[in-house]
Structure 1
Amino acid sequence: MLTISNLEVSYGGINALRGINLNIEENKIVTLIGANGAGKSSTLRAIMNLVKKTEGTVKYDGEDLTNLNTMDIVKKGIALCPEGRRVFENLTVEENLILGAYTIKDKALIDNEMNKVYDLFPILKERNWQKAGTLSGGEQQMLAVGRALMVKPKVLMLDEPSLGLAPLLVRDIFEIIKEIHRQGNTILLVEQNAKKALEIADYGYVLETGSLVLEGNGKELLLNDKVKEAYLGEAKTVDSEQKKGEN
């Protein structure tokens, strides 16, 4: 469905991405995990043509999107919910959602999509009059996801949706991601919470300093010793317990 080939991005002579190859199949959850600075967000931004690619191609259902502008990529059915929420703080919840539908001209269709967002996030319907800047962090994240859904994307890309949220809200966000997937959306998820991401992913990729170092089934990556040690903290815990037993 969405194929990224030999993707390279440089910032001021520094290679942020080095020959990235991704394949996101239709109606799957694919996750991209890695440490801060690994290139996860740069990958999503390069797909949307928000940063310049020095090499590589982006194809969607066989169509080359590499040099399209961001709005045209959105019109093709790909949407990005950015890291840090980035809601319009001085606008209401409803105004934020309407702005999310900027590629849609049919008011009835906009109203229909808004009702779908409200069904997914009832709290947003209750607060549709409220300024986005006065919402809690979790509510702002829901609004950011809802805004991305307003363009009826076939591929929804989520950049660190659980960042900065309390544990209970993290659980809620991942349940919402699963529900969005059940409704027929393909999802490309960038997430620092590797355990949660891999638990719901059909397939996963591991990025380190701009390069892909591992890929595979989400459940298989959860059991991978390197992933456990680097991103889940499990292997180190086992080692320390063993040392305690030896003393």
Structure 2
Amino acid sequence: MSKQSGRRRFLLSAASFAFRVAVVVILFGGGGWFLLAHPETPVPSHWNPLRELKVTAPITPITRFQLNRALADESQCRATLAEAGVSFAAMDDLIESENCGIPGRGLLSRLTSAGVNAVETSCTTALRLTMWEYHVVQPAAQEHLGTRVNQLRHVGSYNCRQMRTTQGETSAWSSHAKADAIDIVGVRLDDGRSLTLLSDWQAAGPEGAFLRQIWRGACDWFRVVLGPDFNHLHADHFHLQGPGWGYCR
């Protein structure tokens, strides 16, 4: 992870902490709770910790709080996706074994504006992917490529298997075994161009800059992000994983 990205994440964390302290002061200062909870509160929803997450709202220090609450509540997760226009058709939970299955299962076929080949995944993965697409991928495409992303290309989310390393398979279970991750291999743009990590990651022009920016930006929405610079097993895709201690490489 770059120094600039690390500094940005530190500043966001510090701002989030300061905001939480300020909210506590307001709530215990008298009248604060009423101000936030009132249906006609003047506090914008993206600044109000009592309001639900909206994908398209501006990012503030409490967005993380709202996101974590949606990730912890399946009904709220699904409602947030529906409000954003995401196509995530509900399916019964998949239970294959103690280690394999998909809680909060659905069929994801479209994000806020980019399509995806229909994929079974968890609501939490779909929500993280949606936040990344809206707040990172589309702005980066406009900035570097002058167009929008028409489709995110992936090679799946759910796979009942153990982790793979450069030394071989381990005894630990992969995050894919619970659909807690998705692997992105490239994008198709509105102007017809297609970019892949295998072909364009090392590109010196705007295509390479775009891919590197969306890799860095994924670290704001997923806790584990692995790309071509991690090892040869990830030479052709981003591994975007929800659970984890925080690792971006």
Fold-level similarity (TM above 0.5) = no
Bigger relative contact order (CA 8 A; separation at least 6): 1
With the length of structure 1 as denominator, give the TM-score of the two structures.
0.28
With the length of structure 2 as denominator, give the TM-score of the two structures.
0.28
